[in-house]
Amino acid sequence: MKILVAVKRVIDYNVKVRVKADQSDVDLTNVKMAINPFCEIAVEEAVRLKEKGIATEIIAVSLGTKACQEQIRTALALGADRGILVESDERLGALTVAKLLKAVVDEEKPDLVILGKQSIDSDNNQTGQMLAALSGMAQGTFASEVTVEDGKASVTREVDGGLQTVSLSLPAIVTTDLRLNEPRYASLPNIMKAKRKPLDTKTPADLGVEVTNSLTTVKVTAPEERSAGIKVASVEELIEKLKNEAKVI
């Protein structure tokens, strides 16, 4: 079984994000970048399926600038077999990413596509669903447990009311939630081996996809700083402040 995993390059979640002085965008100067945490969970799930003997090949694909090779190499160090970079210097919206991934899916014909449920930069939570709609494949979103056997994937989803389990006929698309697994750390030997694993570079034109963006960033601002909290001496004082100062009750 072949698994395709999408990985996105984002600002490391430990870094405090800064806004440019002209408020045109986020400042990426000398900022540490990493794999989107949800994408890292997707890579880990694919590797675990391979370790169980269910998957035979894992392909890590990323879309963006040449710098995205770093995140693909990280995925290769974690256990992926080969990588594909769809290189573009344009800002890629969720729909464009879904179209590019569909083109890669059409070429590679994987049995399972695993993506993070969302990226921590844009927080759109759209790409997996759009890819499923474009490709006509079954989807299991917000996965907290995945089981693959007999040509089907059983996906336990985290929904508002609790947990929902769906059975998907392969090929299918799964988007990962935080509780699916805990990603491993790449060992030094595997990091060295990853440098020798194949990594192909394509362009949107190679895939027959026109890069368009229907969204324009007007202004980026940092959130307002919260005022410091206070300690109260009693429940009565807390209620009084909630009523008269915060006015929430």
Work out how many domains the chain is built from and give that number. 1
Domain of residue 188 covers 2-246
Whole-angstrom Cα distance, residue 105 to residue 88? 18
What is the structure's pLDDT at 40? Answer: 96
Q: What is the CATH number of the domain that holds 7?
A: 3.40.50.620
- Residue 213: per-residue pLDDT: 80
Using CA atoms, how far apart are residues 81 and 57, in angstroms rounded to an integer?
A: 6
Q: Are 1 and 102 in contact (CB under 8 A)?
A: no
State the Cα–Cα distance between residues 186 and 44, nearest whole angstrom: 11
pTM of the model: 0.87
Alpha-carbon span 233 to 40, nearest angstrom: 45
Q: What is the DSSP pairing of strand 138-149 with strand 152-159?
A: antiparallel
Q: C-alpha angle with apex 43: 39 to 47, nearest 5 degrees? A: 165
How confident is the model at residue 33, as a pLDDT? 94
Question: pLDDT averaged over consecutive 10-residue blocks of the chain (249 residues)?
Answer: 96 91 89 95 97 95 95 96 95 92 96 95 92 95 94 92 93 95 94 95 94 86 84 92 86
- Nearest C-alpha neighbor of 59 from the set 91, 81, 87, 37: 81
Q: In this predicted structure, what is the pLDDT of residue 163?
A: 92
For residues 36, 127, 114, 142, the Cα torsion angle rounded to the nearest 10 degrees is 90
